[in-house]
Amino acid sequence: MSVQPSTHVIDDIQEVLISKEQIEAKVAEMGGIISREYEGRDLLLVCILKGALVFMSDLMRCISIPLSIDTMAVTSYGASTVSSGVVKIIKDLDVPIEGRHVLIVEDIVDTGLTLNYLVSALKNRKPASVKICTLLDKPDRRKAPVTPDYNGFVIPDKFVVGYGLDYREKYRNLPFVGVPKDYVWNEEH
């Protein structure tokens, strides 16, 4: 059963960058690759809340091997649309990761500052490996040396919403990734 977001939410979108169908196909492809590469390993998917929640939910159902999941909440944006570069862990892992294969599941790699910090912090906990899986990558904005190990789509330097990504906690429920119209940024709207 597929529920469509209300019309006024969709009306706020200027351009659909990645369709629902493109996302579904790419997530299935990534799940297959991860299943093959982690076969026989103790895989832990770490969802970076809240943006990666939708992506990880779909991704883990496309992975055919046993796995565990956990979540972390980190921020470097606050209420802004631009990363401050100061990373704060709001919610840490619930399980130890020593000796485990950790796959960080993220919605988007932008400056890379948050993921660079996070990978370093997790490696200090002595996992067997730490890799990054992201739905979206914006390499034009990179400020830290971060390269996703598994990447869905490379996108231009545009602010995007949908499929878990938000603007002020809205638009996460869109089934596609899109660019909001200019008036969305207007405080009075």
Report domain extents, the chain.
7-185
Question: Residue 78 region, left (φ>0) first, then alpha (ψ -120 to 50), else beta?
Answer: left
- The whole-number pLDDT of residue 189 equals 41
Q: Which CATH architecture has domain 7-185?
A: 3-Layer(aba) Sandwich (3.40)
**Catalytic member of 12, 58, 110, 137:** 110
pTM for this prediction? 0.88
Residue numbers of the chain with a pLDDT score lower than 70: 1-8, 77-85, 185-189
- The whole-number pLDDT of residue 67 equals 98
> Between 53-61 and 20-37, two packed helices, what is the crossing angle to 10 degrees?
60
Q: Is 42 a catalytic residue?
A: no
- The whole-number pLDDT of residue 118 equals 94
In angstroms, the CA 58 to CA 35 distance is 14
Virtual torsion, Cα 175, 69, 80, 13, nearest 10 deg: 0
In 3D space, the residue among 169, 158, 157, 149 whose CA is nearest the CA of residue 106 turns out to be: 149
- The whole-number pLDDT of residue 65 equals 98
- The whole-number pLDDT of residue 11 equals 84
- The whole-number pLDDT of residue 85 equals 62
Which runs of consecutive H residues, i.e. helices, occur in the chain?
7-11, 20-37, 53-61, 113-123
In 3D space, the residue among 5, 29, 27, 12 whose CA is nearest the CA of residue 136 turns out to be: 27
